[in-house]
Each structure stands twice: as C-alpha cells, then as structure tokens.
Structure 1
Amino acid sequence: MSAVAERTRSERRESASSGGPLTGTGRLLRFMLRRDRVRFPVWVLAVSIMAAYFSNVIALVMDEEALNAMTAFAANPIMGLIGGPGFGFDAITVPRFVVGMYGTSLMLGAAFMSITTISRHTRVEEQTGRAELIRANVVGRHAPLAAALVVAALMNIVMALLTGLTMMSSAAEPAPAGSLLFGAGLGAAGLAFAGVAAVTVQLSPFSRAASGFAGLVLGVSFVVRGLGDMSAVQNGDLAWLSWLSPLGWPQQTAPFTNDDWWPLLLGVALFALLVALAFALQSRRDLAAGILPDRLGRAAAPGWLRGPLSLAYRLQRPSIAGWSIAMLLGGVTFGAFTRPMADGAEGMPEQIVGIMGGADGIVEGYVGFMGVYFAMMVAAFAIISVQSLRAEEQGVRTEAVLATGVGRSAWLLSWTLVTAIGSLWLLALAGVGEGIGAAAGMNDWSMFWPVAFGHAAQVPAVWLLLGLSVGLYGVSPRILGLAWAVFIVGALLSLFGDMLDLDDVVLSASPFRHVGEYPAENVSWAGIAVLTGIGAVCAALGAIVFRRRDLTTA
C-alpha cells in the first residue's frame, strides 16, 4: 500500500514538473492578490475617487458663466500641454471640462500604478532572491510575470469600472456612455504601460533601473502627446504626434463629444504586443539577470569611491543621466513654442491673456509657468529617488553598508544631498534648454539667462518635497506614499487653482506657488528661504528617527 502511495506521489510530481512555462500562475496570482490586499484598493480608489471629486467639485463651484469662460482655454497651447486638445470645448459642459483638463493627470496615475505593480511582483522579487525560492517549486518560467500582468490588468479593469460608475453618479450628471468610455480610456492607458513595464523589467537586473526605463518611456510619451496637442489647439502641422503616444489614444476617443471607442484598441494591441515581447525576452535570460549585459567593473575601486556621499552619487548617476537628457530636450522643445505663443497673443481670449500676464508679458508668463511645470517633474524625480532607498534596504544592501564605519545619518543624508544637488542640476538643465529654445525662436538672446535662472529658482519647492520624503522614510518606508499625496495636491492646486477661483489660503498649500514665476514675477527670497528651511528640517528629523528604527529587510 505504501509503495503504491509513493508511486502515486512520484507520478504527480513528474506530471507537475512537466507542466508548461505558465505552471503555477493561478497560485501565484492568489498570493499576489493577498499581498496587495491593501495596495490594490488604495490605488484603484485613489484614481477613481479623484475623477469623481473633479466631477462633483466642478459641477458645484462653477456656474454656467464661469464654465463658458473656460472655452477660452481650448485655444491655449498650455491647455494642450496639460490636458489635451479640448474636444467639445466650443460647447462646453462639466463632463467635457473634466475630461479635457484632468484626463491626462489621471492617465499618468494609472500608468504609475501599472509600472510599480509589475516591477514589485517581478524584478523586485528576483533582486531580493525571493523569486529563486518560488521557482524552486513547481513554477513555470513565465508564471510570475503572467500573474503580475493579470494583477495589473485587474487593477486597471476595476479602476475603469469604478471611474465610470462614480462619474455617472456625480453632480455633473454625465452620460453613461461617455463616463464608461472615459474610465475605459484610463484603463487602456494603464494596460499599455503595464506592457511597457513588462518589457523593461527584462532589460536590467535592478528594479530601480527597470522602473526608470519605464518612467522614461512614460515621460517621452507625455512630451510627444503634449507637442501634438499644443500644435492641435493652434491648428498646427504637428497634431499627428498625439497619435504616436499611448497617452494620446484615450484622448482621441473624445468622451462626451464623439464617443469613439476604437482608439482604445490601439492601447490593447500595444499591451498584447509588449506582453509577447516580454515573454520572448524572459526566455532569453537567466533568473535575476537582465538582457542588457552588466559592465565589468574595475579590479579596485577608485580613491574617491570611499565614503557614503560618493556611493550615493555612484548609485544615482544612471538615473540622473537619464533625467538630464529628458530635461534638456524637453526644455528646448517647449522653449520652441515661445514664438507661437507670442504670435498668437492678439487672437487669444482675454481670460488666457490675463492669466499669462497680459499681451505685453505673455512670453514671460509662458516661460515662467514652464519653470513651475518642470519643477513638478523634478519633484517626481526626487520622490522616486527616496523611494529607491526602500529597495536598497529590503535588498539587504543598506545593512552591508552600515556594517562598516558608515553611520546611519551619514548614509541617509548623503543620499539626500546627492538628490538635492541633482534636482538643482536638472532644473538648471531644463532652464538652459528652455532658454535656448525661447531665445532662438524669439531671436532675442537677452532672455536666455532670465529663463535659465527662473527655472533653477524653483528648486526650493522640490527640496521641500525631498525633505518630506526623507522624513517619512526615516519613520517608516511604508508611509512614503504620503509624499506623493502632498505632491499631487500641490501640483493640482498650482495648475488648476486659479481656474477654480480658490481662496489664497487654499492655494498657499501648494509648495509650487511661493517662489514666483520668474521672469513674469519677482522671485520671493523669503519663499525660497522658508521652503528650503522646511525641507532641511524634515530631512534632519528623518535622519534622527532613522537612527532609532529597525531596518526593513523583508
């Protein structure tokens, strides 16, 4: 009897071991869903509730006259950059305004959700060694990636449904078809970047680099879409660029205006192609390795690589290099739109001209606004940089460094200092690029230095968010998401607060509103001092608290 039982168990093991590359996907899926039992609903509700919030607030605070005044934004290139081409703004309604002004921001949230989900369940698991333990069981080669993709797909599907349903029940009373289409557009954008992340996690053995590659693709997609939409609102020749971006396809559905569903098929098709590519790449690499080969290091470390500061720089150098290229190119590109802004000032509505500083100051208003806009991008870099400390800590690399003569405070503050200097460098590069583009377009090189200085002067807002992130990390890596919440609220208040005619007390909650949009406005040195001081205090408190907590290695 025992021999028969032993033979049966052996046959079962052989049968299981002969399974395909997707063996064990269902069990891993259940494990990932249990692991994300908090993260899943938080991300999904964050995006869908934000859409419902915008729909209700706009419907309650804006009367018909104020809403009709927003039709002026359809002719503004900045409107195209921030929100999109503004379909239906010639006969504007609350649902059309919500889609046109906030749709891109919500798509970015869905994209970040997908990128972090794929990286969390694939590359991070390999980097920490947990994937090797899982693969030691009866688990197929592609099962972890397949399960992670299913989790990301479920998150986007649930988010799309909740967004559509919450919008339908809002005070704006939108049409059901348009609400569901808008939600489906957010889900399609999230799916597309889940596919992007599935490919990038195959390229590098490090989760930070893999997520950085995906973030770079997202940034390029945003810039390409922005250029196309800025051209579209001016009836330019570059509107076709919007069709090259996964963020542009959901916008082309024009919810509540045209209600075209077919552009979403482009996002789904891209997701399918990228998933197939990801599986093909995974078949060509070893576990915990990447497609891109690692460079051979030196036999001995250089003399300067001996302290925590140089180590922090060495680890952040690839990320800073990638962001540097993006900031410089983005600055030149958006600076080139200064001439169209100046040429179109006379034909712009009074509301736009007034917000941009008047007809005589529209150039200064545009480049001043772009300084704040680039500061928001660099603030995202700073928060992501602090988030990477969590990967260092969980990967047991922090423990190895602190086992030497490096103190905890020195390790954390060295990383903070490199990120702070890197933030200033990135904003300066964006200012140089913007200055070159604007000066060349206007044929006035006297504006180069004011534009470059105006961009660099925005760095204290970034430093405040950096210090807050370091402070939260010092307490616990799990609460770093609060820094993203402060960033999102600050960015929304800065971008849309004036349109909603909010009180100055409310607007002052944004860290991006205290320096001044130079050269359109004077630089507030008091604001610079206060923002820098708060950031420094938060970072110092984070270093003190970090000395007293246990490291998180699992």
Structure 2
Amino acid sequence: MSALAGTGVLTRLALRRDRLRLPLWVVGLAALFASIGNSISDLYDSDAARLENAQVRADNVVTRAFTGPAPGSSSGALTVSEGLVFTCVLVALMNILLVVRHTRQNEELGRAELVGSASVGRHAGLTAALLLAGLANAALIVLSTLALLGMGMPAGGSVLAGVALGTVGMAFAGLTSIGAQLTESARTATGLGGLVLATMFLLRAAGDAFGDTASDKVTVNPAWPSWISPLGWGQQLRPYGESRLWPVALLLACFAVSVLVAVQLSVHRDVGTGMLPARRGAARARSSLLKPLGLVWRLQRGLLLGWIVGIAVFGAVFGGIGDQVEDLFSSEESAQFVRDLGGGGDLVDAYFAGMMGLLSVVVAGFTVQALIRLRSDEENGPTEAVLATAVSRTHWVLAHTVIALLGTALVLAALGLSTGLAYGAVSDDLTGALGDLLETTLAQLAPTAVLAGFALAVFGLLPRGAATVTWAAFAVCLVIGQFGTLLDLPDALIDVSPFTHLPDLPAESLTTAPMLVMSALAAALAAVGVAGFRRRSLALGG
C-alpha cells in the first residue's frame, strides 16, 4: 500500500473539521494587516511625515527590535514596518495550531489509530495536515494581496507582502511537523512550537537591533542572528522597498527540509508515541493535588508562565519607547490618533492609556484559555474522574475560576511592572511610572472578570459552543471595544465591551463605581454558569 493512500479523504476531513475556524483565521489575519496599512495611510499623509517616521524607527533600537525597520518611507513601507512581523507571528501561530491539531492531537485522542486500521498510508495524516496548511497560506496570500491592492497600494509590493505572510506560515508549518514527531501530547507539541516561534522572534529582534543603518537613515541591514530566523527572511523580501524575491527560496527550503525530517522521524516511531520519551512523573503525588485548586494550578501553571514572560517582553518594549512618543507621532494627524485612542490629554499619557488598554484586552486571552480548559477537560480530560470523587461541580468550576483570575492578576501585574520599569528607566521617574502603570493594568481586572463570567455562563448553558462563543466575545472586546471610536461605530455597539467602561488610565483618574458594577455583573454571570453546569449532564466527546 502506498504511504500516501487516503491523503485526499483525510484532507477533506480536515477541511470539514476546520470549515469555520480556518476561514476566520485567514480572513482575520488579512484584514488585520490591511487595517494597519489603512491606519498608516491616514496617519501620515505627506512624504515629509512618512520620511520622518521611518527615520525615527530606524534610529530607535527598541522600535526596530520590536517591529523591524521600514524598507522605505512610503505608506506601504511603513505598513511593513508596523505590521509585518506582528502579523507573521500570528500566521506562524495559526500554522502551529493547525498542524498539531491534525497530527499529534489525532494520535493522542486515538483518531489516527482508528483511521490507520483502514486503507490509509503511513504518511497520509501528516501530508493532509500540510496540504491544509498550504491551502490556508495560499488563501492568505491572495486575500492579503487583494486587501492591500484595494487600499491603493502598489501591486508589486502588495503581492510581495502577501507572499511574505504565506511563506513564513509554510516554514512554521514544516517546523511544527517535526515537533509533532518528537512529543507524545498535543499540548507539548504546541508548547514546543511556541518556544521555536519565540526563539525565532528573539533572533530576528537581535539581528535588527544590532544591524547597521544605511546612508539613507531609513533602511537597516540586519546582523547575522536575523538570517537564521524565518521571520527575518520574511522581512528581507522588503515589500514596497527593494522588493527582493530570493528570500522566498529560504522559506520554502526550510519547509521542504523540515517535512523530509518529519517523514524520516515518523518512520522510526509507533503511532501515539514520540521520538522523545515522555517524562515520568513522581511516584507519589503532592498532597496539594488532592484538592481541586492544587490540581487546576498544576494544569495551568505552564500556560501562566508563558503568558507572564511574553507579556513582560511586550510591556518592556512599549515602555522603553515611551520617551520617544512625541518623535514617533510628530505630525498633527498621528498625535490626534493617539489621543483618540487613549482618551486625550497629554500625548504620553494617551499613548500609555491606548497601549495598556489594548494589551490588557490581549491578556484577557489568557483568562479565556484558562476557562475554556473546563470544556476540554470535560470532553477528554479529568473532569469525569474528578467528579466521581467527593468533589462537587461547584467546587471544580470555582477552582478553575480562582486560578484563572489570580493568573490574570499576575499577568497584568507583570505587564505593569515591565512597562513601568522600562519607562521609568528612560524617563528618570521610576516611582511615578511604576505607580501609574501598575494602577492602569490592575484596574483592567474588573472588565476581564466580566468576560470570565460570560465564559462560565456559556460553559454552563451551551457547552458544545463554549469555545466558539467565548472566543467570539473576546474578539468583540478586542476589535470593537478598542478601535470602535476610531471606526466611528455607534456608542451602543462600543459599550458592549466591558473594557470601554473603565476610565482611560493613566490619562484619566480611576473611579470605583464602574469597577463595582462590573464586579457584581461578573459574579452574577459566574453564578449562572455554575447553576447551569450543576443541572446539565456532562457533554463528553465534543
């Protein structure tokens, strides 16, 4: 039997499983990149303003480490500087999750063994996953190119920007296929993919930070670390600048070599196992694991640590450029944009209000992840076994809720501390910066609790749609709540997000009334969720 027998059937099955999830990813990523380009065009409407901004980006080591330098001074080039690396990171994440879902997760849940009992080749599952990744990345190339062309961007640069996104995605799909052969669990494979992504981001950041600025004071020739990162290769296409196509060969070669390695590893292991032996646990469990709170903490601590480290890095970057806000947003239009985003007033305060507000909503993604675990544990995890003991359903849900909210508080504190320390170091006002920014981030716990309460209510009442509905609510909070004013959306629609009901700290003063109201609403929603879970049957197996 051919090693690829059944690939077509498995590809169609994968397409059916992701018929909603994948289009949302692809359309959302294309729209995100295009919206960044639209914002740049609105903010910098003159050649002088664009040139000044590009030069400031090239001159600031922190800025070019975080976003990368601009390949020129046009609107398209500034779009690449502002959004290409960030969007490529999200594209890489999409491919990591996609490949793990259709390879390692299938083996972990026993689907691969069941399918393999039919006329299915050894490499059909991996090939189907990679074909699906190829289709998703090809669609992303087309949609992002069309979106940029629709905004009036030059055709050549628009095509190259789309190709950069798609080929970076394929490189990470290939690298993830290796991780899926090494580990025994989908969670570990995803974590390994995230670690590779973080490493590649840091290599690219170091390369851009230590690169040499060219004579035009705009473009930057990166140092060697950037040349061993797929994210760096994607940048080197330089859309709307020199427009180089040859780095695509590096990205496609990375994909091809990774797939060959993954195929060879697959031949030398059994289905359901990984090349790396699973670490054996202790012979005796800690006493804390006998209680729901201790067990949930053990399950969530890895996720929490990853969020704390990641958000601290982002906070340090945004804080480190706080003293250059007036240079980065020197034009009247860009300064007004920042003030609209952050509640007006002083430009620096408005900048921090806007950025901390945005990142705080992003932190709510941890809250959603932590609580959605309730649903995944109900389907395939320990929920049934735990509830077979003396643990009540209320106790089990409350343990997840406490860990989710305490973890959220820790992540928000890490954001405030890293941002405050970085800004305090560059502004020589460490005490003031720390106090203001810690207050700014920790205050976001109240609206995050409302989103947590909503997640619990959906879990209790609509378990099979819990993940989809909760992530949709998170997306509403992120997009409508943070950018609704800039998009001139109706106030009634903007007010749907609980995050819009807090003052724009630190530009405005903190008031306790909205926090108390949101806390009461969160408690009421959580009570609805607990009551619903207590009254329904366990929804096992999806």
**Smaller-chain TM-score bracket:** 0.7 to 0.9
Match of 2:403 among 411, 415, 418: 418
Q: Give the Cα–Cα distance (whole angstroms) in 2 for the partners of residues 24 and 237 of structure 1.
A: 48
For structure 2, which runs of at least 5 residues remain unmatched after alignment? Answer: none
Residues 350 and 45 of structure 1, relative CA distance in 2, 3 Å threshold: closer
Q: Give the Cα–Cα distance (whole angstroms) in 2 for the partners of residues 67 and 462 of structure 1.
A: 41
Q: Which residue does the alignment assign to 1:463?
A: 449
Contact 1:375 1:455 in 2 (8 A): yes
Q: Which residue does the alignment assign to 1:384?
A: 369
Residues 63 and 101 of structure 1, relative CA distance in 2, 3 Å threshold: closer
Q: Secondary structure at the match of 2:283?
A: coil
Q: Which residue does the alignment assign to 2:164?
A: 185
* Cα offsets for 1:425-462 (capped at 9, x unmatched): 12212322333333344444323343333333333343
The answer as to 2:286 corresponding to 1:302 is: yes
Deviation at 1:422, TM superposition (A): 0.7
Contact 2:375 2:466 in 1 (8 A): no
Deviation at 1:345, TM superposition (A): 4.6
Q: Which residue does the alignment assign to 2:532?
A: 545
Contact 1:85 1:230 in 2 (8 A): no
**Comparing 437-446 with 308-317, which one deviates more in the overlay?**
437-446
Deviation at 1:316, TM superposition (A): 0.8
Root-mean-square deviation (CA, aligned residues, Å) is: 4.3
Residues 34 and 494 of structure 1, relative CA distance in 2, 3 Å threshold: closer
Q: Give the Cα–Cα distance (whole angstroms) in 2 for the partners of residues 63 and 238 of structure 1.
A: 26
Q: Give the Cα–Cα distance (whole angstroms) in 2 for the partners of residues 329 and 54 of structure 1.
A: 22
The answer as to 2:16 corresponding to 1:31 is: no
Q: Which residue does the alignment assign to 2:415?
A: 430
Q: Give the Cα–Cα distance (whole angstroms) in 1 for the partners of residues 397 and 270 of structure 2.
A: 33
Contact 2:71 2:81 in 1 (8 A): yes
**Comparing 483-492 with 155-164, which one deviates more in the overlay?**
483-492
Q: Give the Cα–Cα distance (whole angstroms) in 1 for the partners of residues 200 and 510 of structure 2.
A: 32
Residues 431 and 423 of structure 1, relative CA distance in 2, 3 Å threshold: same
Q: Which residue does the alignment assign to 1:405?
A: 390
Contact 1:465 1:487 in 2 (8 A): yes
- Which runs of structure 2 are paired with 1:214-293 in the superposition (5 Å)? 214-219=193-198, 221=200, 240=223, 245-283=229-267, 285-293=269-277
Q: Secondary structure at the match of 1:523?
A: coil
Contact 1:223 1:330 in 2 (8 A): no
Deviation at 1:122, TM superposition (A): 1.5
Match of 1:473 among 459, 467, 471: 459
Q: Which residue does the alignment assign to 1:525?
A: 512
Residues 106 and 419 of structure 1, relative CA distance in 2, 3 Å threshold: same
Q: Give the Cα–Cα distance (whole angstroms) in 2 for the partners of residues 99 and 290 of structure 1.
A: 39
The amino acid of 1:122's aligned partner reads T
Contact 1:81 1:230 in 2 (8 A): yes
Deviation at 1:192, TM superposition (A): 2.6
The amino acid of 2:7's aligned partner reads T
Q: Secondary structure at the match of 1:455?
A: helix
- Which runs of structure 2 are paired with 1:151-162 in the superposition (5 Å)? 151-162=132-143
Contact 1:470 1:539 in 2 (8 A): yes
**Comparing 41-50 with 237-246, which one deviates more in the overlay?**
237-246
Q: Which residue does the alignment assign to 1:13?
A: none
Q: Give the Cα–Cα distance (whole angstroms) in 2 for the partners of residues 398 and 305 of structure 1.
A: 14
Deviation at 1:327, TM superposition (A): 3.5
* Cα offsets for 1:93-115 (capped at 9, x unmatched): xx667656555564454333322
* Cα offsets for 1:498-550 (capped at 9, x unmatched): 66576766655554444345444323433433444444443333333334254
Q: Give the Cα–Cα distance (whole angstroms) in 1 for the partners of residues 295 and 47 of structure 2.
A: 53
- Which runs of structure 2 are paired with 1:352-367 in the superposition (5 Å)? 352=334, 355=338, 364-365=349-350, 367=352
Contact 2:50 2:74 in 1 (8 A): no
Deviation at 1:375, TM superposition (A): 1.9
Residues 442 and 97 of structure 1, relative CA distance in 2, 3 Å threshold: closer
Residues 73 and 287 of structure 1, relative CA distance in 2, 3 Å threshold: same
Q: Give the Cα–Cα distance (whole angstroms) in 1 for the partners of residues 226 and 513 of structure 2.
A: 41
The answer as to 2:113 corresponding to 1:132 is: yes
* Cα offsets for 1:136-185 (capped at 9, x unmatched): 345444332222111111221123223334554x3x34444333333222
Contact 2:141 2:162 in 1 (8 A): yes
Q: Give the Cα–Cα distance (whole angstroms) in 1 for the partners of residues 479 and 226 of structure 2.
A: 23
Q: Give the Cα–Cα distance (whole angstroms) in 2 for the partners of residues 491 and 269 of structure 1.
A: 36
The amino acid of 1:35's aligned partner reads R
Q: Give the Cα–Cα distance (whole angstroms) in 1 for the partners of residues 464 and 194 of structure 2.
A: 21
TM-score in terms of structure 1 length: 0.78
Contact 1:345 1:362 in 2 (8 A): no
- Which runs of structure 2 are paired with 1:472-511 in the superposition (5 Å)? 472-474=458-460, 475-492=462-479, 508-511=495-498
Q: Give the Cα–Cα distance (whole angstroms) in 2 for the partners of residues 85 and 465 of structure 1.
A: 36
Q: Give the Cα–Cα distance (whole angstroms) in 1 for the partners of residues 35 and 312 of structure 2.
A: 35
The amino acid of 2:158's aligned partner reads S
Contact 2:361 2:477 in 1 (8 A): no
Q: Give the Cα–Cα distance (whole angstroms) in 1 for the partners of residues 83 and 497 of structure 2.
A: 18
The amino acid of 2:253's aligned partner reads A
Q: Which residue does the alignment assign to 1:114?
A: 95
Contact 2:47 2:74 in 1 (8 A): no
**Comparing 321-330 with 229-238, which one deviates more in the overlay?**
229-238
Q: Give the Cα–Cα distance (whole angstroms) in 2 for the partners of residues 217 and 403 of structure 1.
A: 39
Contact 1:515 1:525 in 2 (8 A): no
For structure 1, which runs of at least 5 residues remain unmatched after alignment? Answer: 1-15
Contact 2:311 2:414 in 1 (8 A): yes
The amino acid of 1:205's aligned partner reads E
The amino acid of 2:532's aligned partner reads V
Q: Percent identity?
A: 33
Contact 1:493 1:510 in 2 (8 A): yes
The answer as to 2:144 corresponding to 1:163 is: yes
Q: Give the Cα–Cα distance (whole angstroms) in 2 for the partners of residues 362 and 485 of structure 1.
A: 32
Residues 310 and 66 of structure 1, relative CA distance in 2, 3 Å threshold: farther
Match of 2:301 among 307, 312, 317: 317
Corresponding pairs, count: 527
Contact 1:23 1:138 in 2 (8 A): yes
Deviation at 1:551, TM superposition (A): 0.9
Contact 1:157 1:187 in 2 (8 A): yes
Q: Give the Cα–Cα distance (whole angstroms) in 1 for the partners of residues 232 and 152 of structure 2.
A: 25
Residues 476 and 213 of structure 1, relative CA distance in 2, 3 Å threshold: same
Residues 80 and 51 of structure 1, relative CA distance in 2, 3 Å threshold: same
Contact 2:357 2:482 in 1 (8 A): no
Contact 1:72 1:351 in 2 (8 A): no
Q: Which residue does the alignment assign to 1:6?
A: none
The amino acid of 1:36's aligned partner reads D
Match of 1:445 among 430, 442, 465: 430
The amino acid of 2:283's aligned partner reads A
Residues 37 and 225 of structure 1, relative CA distance in 2, 3 Å threshold: same
Q: Give the Cα–Cα distance (whole angstroms) in 2 for the partners of residues 519 and 220 of structure 1.
A: 33
* Cα offsets for 1:40-59 (capped at 9, x unmatched): 4444444446667778x779
Q: Give the Cα–Cα distance (whole angstroms) in 2 for the partners of residues 465 and 81 of structure 1.
A: 33
